[in-house]
């Protein structure tokens, strides 16, 4: 009907009205997040561990921690006023703030945040782990990973979003299925068309050529990645973060999977809030 607004426009207007109605005092420091509702991306750790981690980062307890299965859901919750902020790694924060002027980051300065991104394979797939390890070591040593990181993370311009580039297919080679989430752009990035793009595609392209295997991507939710690995829906978890200075994620360590050599080192983190 001619008088009806498009559904998308109605949704946008509703989102804006909800956000305006729920705004309280401006959040400018980590202490301002104490007693507030904090969002958290479900990673597989327990709610109690997530709350303990957030409490340390903001220097006091939040009123509530609400977990979300997807990065886009936690961002929508922030914009609609359902949560007051959420934590993220600094490389992901930098990516988001370049693209959304309505958001601001409050850096975590008193608690060091550092670690590494690894891939994960099933504990019995030692041969695959060895292949991935050898490729990561080689590509780290010859500067290929550093160049990919510079192009697709450090220097990725806001006006040039990654687009899908089909992975090369090696005739007769073994195919492995890799789980990607899209929840940690631009490191683990899934474009608006649903296809991975950027860093993950570029890195796996180089690894595939080096060890003579094919990779196919499978979209999964972050908290389901190890379940998908165990059930053999996928053979490789592309992105898992291992902190080098906290124990909050230790409960994700088990005998069901093996970690590869790290392919990305991260430092720093912030809480993202509305401006």
At 182-238, the pLDDT tens digits run 999 999 999 888 889 999 999 999 999 999 999 999 999 988 999 999 999 999 999
Do residues 45 and 56 lie in contact, with contact meaning Cβ atoms separated by under 8 Å? no
What's 25's DSSP letter? Answer: S
* pLDDT score, position 11: 41
Render the burial of 45-73: b for 16+ CB within 10 Å, e for the rest: beeebbbbbbeebbeeebeebbebebbeb
* pLDDT score, position 251: 61
Specify the pTM: 0.84
Q: Which domains does the chain have, with CATH numbers?
A: 7-107 (3.40.190.10), 114-267 (3.40.190)
Mean pLDDT of the chain: 88
* pLDDT score, position 46: 79
33-37, 118-122, 158-162, 170-174: least confidently modelled range: 158-162
Question: Which spans in the chain are helix H?
Answer: 7-22, 47-58, 71-79, 90-97, 126-141, 144-149, 199-211, 225-230
Render the burial of 20-29: b for 16+ CB within 10 Å, e for the rest: eeeeeeebee
In which band, very low, low, confident or very high, does the pLDDT at 27 lie, cut at 50, 70 and 90? very high
3-state secondary structure of 268: coil
Residue 138 has pLDDT above 70, yes or no: yes
3-state secondary structure of 187: coil
Residue 249 has pLDDT above 70, yes or no: no
What's 61's DSSP letter? Answer: -
Total residues found in the chain within this entry: 275
CA gap 26, 148 in Å, rounded: 38
């Amino acid at each position: 009907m001619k008088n009806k607004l498009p559904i998308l426009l109605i949704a946008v207007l509703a989102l804006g009205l909800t956000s305006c109605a729920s705004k309280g005092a401006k959040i400018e420091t980590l202490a301002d997040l104490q007693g507030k509702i904090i969002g958290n991306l479900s990673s597989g750790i327990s709610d109690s561990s997530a709350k303990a981690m957030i409490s340390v980062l903001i220097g006091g307890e939040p009123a509530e921690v609400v977990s979300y299965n997807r990065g886009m859901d936690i961002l929508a919750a922030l914009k609609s006023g359902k949560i007051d902020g959420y934590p993220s790694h600094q490389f992901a924060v930098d990516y988001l703030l370049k693209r959304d002027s309505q958001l601001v980051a409050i850096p975590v300065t008193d608690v060091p945040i550092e670690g590494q991104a690894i891939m994960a394979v099933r504990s019995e797939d030692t041969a695959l782990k060895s292949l991935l390890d050898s490729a990561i070591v080689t590509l780290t040593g010859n500067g290929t990973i550093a160049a990919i990181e510079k192009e697709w993370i450090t220097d990725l311009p806001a006006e040039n979003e990654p687009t899908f580039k089909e992975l090369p297919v090696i005739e007769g080679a073994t195919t492995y299925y890799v789980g990607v989430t899209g929840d940690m752009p631009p490191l683990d990035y899934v474009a608006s068309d649903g296809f991975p793009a950027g860093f993950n595609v570029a890195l796996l392209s180089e690894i595939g050529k080096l060890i003579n295997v094919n990779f196919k991507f499978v979209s999964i939710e972050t908290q389901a990645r190890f379940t998908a690995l165990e059930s053999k829906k996928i053979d490789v978890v592309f992105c898992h973060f291992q902190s080098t200075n906290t124990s909050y994620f230790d409960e994700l360590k088990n005998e069901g999977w093996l970690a590869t050599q790290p392919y990305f080192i991260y430092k720093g983190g912030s809480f993202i809030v509305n401006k």
